[in-house]
Amino acid sequence: MSKISSNKILEKCEVIDIADKGKSVAKSKSGEIVFLENAVPGDIVDVLIKRKRKGSFTGKILKFNLKSQKRVKPICEHFGVCGGCKWQNMNYSSQLFYKERRVHENLMRIGKIKPKTILPILESKKIFYYRNKMEYSFSNTRWLSESEIKSKKKFTREALGLHKKGRWDKIVDIKKCHLQEDISNTIRNRIKKFAIENEIDFFDPYKNKGLLRNLTIKITSTKNIMVLLQFGFKSDFIYKLLNFLKNSFENINSILYVINMKPNDSIYDQKVNLFYGKDYITEKICGLRFKITAKTFFQTNSTQAENLFYLVKKFLEPNKNDILYDLYSGIGTIGQILSKDVKKVVGIDIVEDSINFANENSKLNNLSNTKYFSGDMKDIFTQAFIKENGKPSVTIVNPPREGIDKKVIEKIIDTKPKKIVYVSCNSSTLARDLILFQKTYEISKLQTVDMFPHTSHVENVVLLKQLIDV
């Protein structure tokens, strides 16, 4: 293996598996492991070795000797270049298989954890046009295809789209995206056309210059539409563009903008300005309404999110005597959906804005048995807090990708809930955390939920039951 160098060709490698981040794993006849893009298990390919890393290689497919039966024709013209839907070339049933297997492998490999009951992965009924949020970037250095480069012609370099695979600095100009309702494509394309016609500068990622930076479109299941534009500096062109947007689309409910002069495009430390409509849109899920703002986190697949929340309820089996602690509560979605089934909901999140909206959503839904607190959970779980708000009999945790801090896990265990439902978007950190929980809790049930078709990402729902009544 060590004798193989870059630019060597390995013939008839079999693609045998899917790796992290959607890459495929191929094996040569002599046993070398090669990581590939745009390959599907079952393909037999000739590979050009690009580089070696940690005992394996990355490569580029030169030739298909045999194409896998798991292959399908991608519907998107940007597939293979855009960094979005990496699995569009694989049939959906195979996507589900590899997603589920990856979760189980991570649990066993990292934590030697095998839940008592493993339920089949919950598929998404919609595999296209399922996202309620899309973020696009403006760029004056559009990604050029190999054929464009070889032609030596001059091309317009303005782009409004998504990042090229593995590139922070190159944007693929998207004509049509199949992830969000088609009105999203119309809005994006008209904005780009208007900007070019009016010679508005697109962002330069190398110089951190340019007026047009980012576009975010949110569309709820109630057909509310929010458009947020991010600009690099103050300019009269901003209002010209925003007025064009307002006058062109009467079905847009909220138009917002941000002046962001930082090198990165994060808006969470920036002021969001309201140009038209309200500063929020409304989502309806599981019979309740929730306000969604520019900075609000909400599951990006509303239809599947509803199935996820019902699954949490099914696992938890709450009753009217339960005090439910909703940790990493965000805007209060899960806790409020379960509020009618329990005595009380206590929600905690470190993001103050999320807690403010959780309280607003409680009022919006006429709930009187919910209380929300902002702060670090390592500090909040005191005896005084438990005494004031009640000892939790059931707990829900829905942390970000990095999982739960060890001290927070210790605090959760100290509160001694009978049941814990852990919702996780990262099976690696989930496995790490379950190692600590399983000292006092049985890993009772696991079900993976496919929230993001054509990607390697999933959500996992795990039920933990207290081993000893202490």
Quick check: is 425 catalytic?
A: yes
Q: What is the DSSP string of 103-144?
A: HHHHHHHHH----SEEEEEE--S-SSS--SEEEEEEESSBPP
Coil, strand or helix at 292? strand
The answer to whether the CB of 297 falls within 8 A of the CB of 269 is no
Residue 126's CB is within 10 A of a number of other CB atoms, namely 12
Alpha helices in 397-439 (DSSP H): 406-415, 427-437
Helix (H) or strand (E) holding 383: helix 383-389
Beta bridge partners of 324: 345, 394
Helix (H) or strand (E) holding 320: none
Q: At what angle do helices 427-437 and 406-415 cross, to 10 degrees?
A: 50
Task: Tell me the C-alpha distance between 444 and 116, whole Å.
Answer: 5
Task: Tell me the C-alpha distance between 30 and 11, whole Å.
Answer: 10
For residue 303, the 8-state DSSP code is H
Beta bridge partners of 446: 118, 462
As a dihedral over the C-alpha atoms of residue 310, residue 315, residue 320, residue 321, rounded to 10 degrees, the angle is -150
The answer to whether the CB of 99 falls within 8 A of the CB of 122 is no
Token pair in block for residue 100 = 């589920």
Catalytic residue among 13, 76, 177, 425: 425
Alpha helices in 26-116 (DSSP H): 92-111
Q: Residue 434's closest CA among 401, 463, 459?
A: 463
Q: Name the amino acid, one letter, at 197.
A: E
Task: Tell me the C-alpha distance between 297 and 401, whole Å.
Answer: 13
Task: Tell me the C-alpha distance between 223 and 250, whole Å.
Answer: 12
Q: Is 132 exposed, middle or buried (0-12, 13-18, 19+ CB in 10 A)?
A: buried
For residue 220, the 8-state DSSP code is -
Beta bridge partners of 66: 44
Catalytic residues: 425
